Amino acid sequence: MSNVGAWLTVAAAMPSLIAGASSARIEVERLRRLAVVGAAVMLAASLIVAMLPHAFELRTSAFTSEPGGEAVLRVDALSSVLLPLAAGLWLLTVAVTPRAALDRGGLRRTALATLITFASFLTESAVVLLLLSAGSLWTFLTALGGHQYQRRIVAVYLGASTVLFGVGVALLIGPHTQGTRWASVGLWIIAAAALLRKGIVPFHAWVPELFDRGRLGPTILYSAPQVGAYMTVVLIVPRATPELLRIIAVLALATSVYGAALALVQTSARRACGYLFMSQSALVMAGLDCTSTSALAGGLVVWLSAGLAFAGLARSVLVLEARRGRLDLSSYHGGYDRTPLLAISFLTMGLACTGFPGTLGFVGQELLVNGAVDAFPVMGFAIVAASALTGLAVLRMYFSLFCGRRDVFAHSALRFELTRREAWTLVAVIVALIGLGIAPRPLVDSRLAASDRILRERAHMSARE
């Protein structure tokens, strides 16, 4: 246990240090290099926590809060793999984001946002999650700076989600509401909050607008870890009736097909990313229907693959935007020969999003379909449709952004190629997605263990009620 505690401390210390160092008089580029090193250390420490055999013992009564009875701080089969995801997304952000889009304040905010996400994955206390959710919203709002339209979207939609979450938590764990009808009303309200935060149909309209206008970087960092899915797993899944879970799954499947279909016709690369994100993140929610252990495990694997692959894809768009300006999908931009690695990264990450064989996404989607097909065959057909449309949308984006034109207009002195830091980070993400896609057993076994634990907890809660 002490080992786990020590590694967790190291991991959590890194973003805290960078946030603190951003106030010191350190040159921005140097601070950024420090942030890259810090994120790499955090990733390594999180991976060690995930691989430590005794990691699941960190759940003691000393950390248990009174109101909900849930542990304020714990590491278990579910969270142990999400911690490296939070760290990996931070590393991707600080290593790949163009220099102009990540100043001193940006570095501080990304560190704080990562710390909040990291802490969220370490708790199952509703109150702590609510506080962290509010903190995350504040960080996101400050990161959007002067982009008023985007700030208003975030304030209205995510603010509403946080308020709903607060009301739901109050009803769920309030001293006079536990075990009453109000507790189940609270659960429905929390479910609505999670759906709003995740952009599930019919609460989805804000997602593509948010991606399309203003700053894409903070939007990726806020969206990719999918804390809304975590809220659902920790608070809703153990307590919800099968009907509520089925409603969430049906809405999520509709979102997945809808998002993929609309991504296919967008003329803005950012907006297409928004719809792709909607589609991918909805698959995670669909897996939480709890039809079987393997379907749930599939949802958890898709969570990781979609988080990593989508963040990589959207960061690639950001990198390309830094070189070419706003990207329009109604024409061909060419330039494959100048940025082949970026093109390959974009395509690979996009294919991982679609669940293409050989990537982690395929493993997750297979588990999801195989696990759900007996009890809920509609899920299988919906995933097939969503995957087909997503694949088409990704290839259309790839062709439009990297092919179809000779680079005759660009001056030969213009530097288009990736920096070494960008190149290595993108290669690392590709290796992770393909490596875990080719040898997925350790990860899948850990996800099966996590889903087994979630289902046991659910059975235990049902028996108690």
Partner 1 sequence: MTSLSLAWLVLLGVGSPFLLFAVLGGASLLNRPLRERWTGFLAAGSMTLSCAVLLTGLIIAGATRTGPRLLSFGAWSASHEGGVAIEFLVDRASLGFAALAAAIAGVVSAFSYRYLHREPGYNRYFILLSLFVSGMLLVALAGNVEVLFVGWELVGLSSALLVGFFHDRPAAVANALRVFSVYRVSDAAMLSAAVLLRHVAGTDSLSLLFGAARATTAGLSSANATMIAVLLIVAVAGKSALLPFSGWLPRAMEGPTPSSAVYYGSLSIHAGCFLLLRSAPLLMHAPAARVLAGVLGLVTAAFAGLATRVQSDVKSSLAYASLTQVGLIVVEIALGWNRLAFVHLAGHACFRLLQFLSAPNVLHDLHGMEETLSERSPKSVGVEVLLPQRWRRRLFLFALERGFLDSVLDRLVVNPFTATARRLTNLDAWLCGAVLPVERMLAPQAVREQDE
Contact call for residue 152 and partner 1 (CB under 8 A): yes
- How far apart CA 360 and CA 358 sit, in angstroms, is 7
**Beta carbons within 8 Å of 102's beta carbon, 6+ residues apart:** 32, 93, 94, 110, 217
Least distance between partner 1 and beta carbon 462 (Å): 22
Distance CA(221)–CA(308), nearest Å, equals 11
The rounded distance, in Å, linking the Cα atoms of 365 and 416 is 35
**C-beta of 187 vs 389, nearer to partner 1:** 389
3-class state of residue 328 by DSSP: strand
> 26 CB contacts (<8 Å, ≥6 apart)?
34
Round to whole Å and give the CA distance between 167 and 420: 48
Check residue 41 for interaction with partner 1 (CB under 8 A): no
CB-nearer residue toward partner 1: 114 or 390 = 390
307 binds partner 1 (CB under 8 A): no
391 is a site residue for partner 1 (CB under 8 A): yes
Q: How many CA atoms lie within 13 A of 280 on its CB side?
A: 38
Which positions from 156 through 195 interact with partner 1, judged by CB under 8 A?
156-157
When asked if residue 1 is in the footprint of partner 1 (CB under 8 A), the reply is no
Q: Quickly list DSSP for 88-136.
A: HHHHHHHHHS-GGG--HHHHHHHHHHHHHHHHHHT---HHHHHHHHHHH
Q: Does 356 bind partner 1 (CB under 8 A)?
A: yes
Q: Which two tokens stand for residue 329?
A: 């999908």
Q: How far is the CB of 162 from partner 1 (least distance, A)?
A: 16
Phi, psi of 64 (to 5 degrees): -85, 130
CB of 105 to partner 1, least distance (A): 19
Q: Under the criterion CB under 8 A, does residue 209 sit at the interface with partner 1? A: yes
262 lies in the site for partner 1, by CB under 8 A: yes
Supply the DSSP symbol for 73. S
Q: Which of residues 45-104 bind partner 1 (CB under 8 A)?
A: none
DSSP result, 282-297: HHHHHHTT-S-HHHHH
Give yes or no for residue 310 binding partner 1 (CB under 8 A). no
Question: Interface with partner 1 includes 247 (CB under 8 A)?
Answer: no
Contact pick of 76, 289, 366, 457 for partner 1 (by CB under 8 A):
366
Longest Cα–Cα distance in the chain: 71
Out of 106, 334, 350, 361, point to the residue binding partner 1 (CB under 8 A).
334
**81 neighbors 304 (Cβ within 8 angstroms):** yes
CB of 403 to partner 1, least distance (A): 4
Residue 395 as a binder of partner 1 (CB under 8 A): the answer is yes
Instruction: Count CB atoms within 10 A of the CB of residue 226.
Output: 25
Q: Does 295 bind partner 1 (CB under 8 A)?
A: yes
To partner 1, the closest distance from the beta carbon of 290 in angstroms equals 14
The CB-of-241 to partner 1 minimum distance in angstroms stands at 24
CB of 65 to partner 1, least distance (A): 34
Which tokens in the block code for residue 324? 């070419």
CB atoms within 10 A of CB 205: 12
- Residue 338 CB, nearest approach to partner 1 (Å): 11
Q: Contacting partner 1 (CB under 8 A), which of 387, 433, 450, 457?
A: 387
Q: Which segment (31-39, 113-121, 162-170, 352-360) binds partner 1 by CB under 8 A?
A: 352-360
Binder to partner 1 among 140, 258, 303, 310 (CB under 8 A)? Answer: 258
Q: Are 95 and 421 in contact (CB under 8 A)?
A: yes
Instruction: Report yes or no: 89 and 221 within 8 Å, Cβ to Cβ.
Output: yes
When asked if residue 456 is in the footprint of partner 1 (CB under 8 A), the reply is: no
Under 8 Å between Cβ of 11 and 118: yes
* Residue 351 is a binding residue for partner 1 (CB under 8 A): yes
One residue of 369, 401, 429, 450 binding partner 1 per CB under 8 A = 369
| Span interacting with partner 1, options 27-35, 118-126, 305-313, 360-368, rule CB under 8 A | 360-368
240 lies in the site for partner 1, by CB under 8 A: no
Instruction: Give the interface segment with partner 1, choosing from 116-124, 161-169, 170-178, 390-398 (CB under 8 A).
Output: 390-398
- Asked if residue 250 binds partner 1 (CB under 8 A), the reply is no
Stretch that binds partner 1, among 105-113, 127-135, 261-269, 280-288 (CB under 8 A): 261-269
If one asks whether residue 435 binds partner 1 (CB under 8 A), the answer comes out as no
DSSP 55: G
Q: Per CB under 8 A, does 277 bind partner 1?
A: no
The residue type of 422 is E
- Please report, as residue ranges, which positions from 131 to 150 form the binding site for partner 1 (by CB under 8 A): 147-150
Binding of partner 1 by 206 (CB under 8 A): yes
Q: Which residues contact 112 (CB under 8 A, 6 or more apart)?
A: 15, 19, 139
Q: Min. distance of Cβ 321 from partner 1 in angstroms?
A: 13
CA distance linking residue 142 with residue 234, whole number of Å: 28
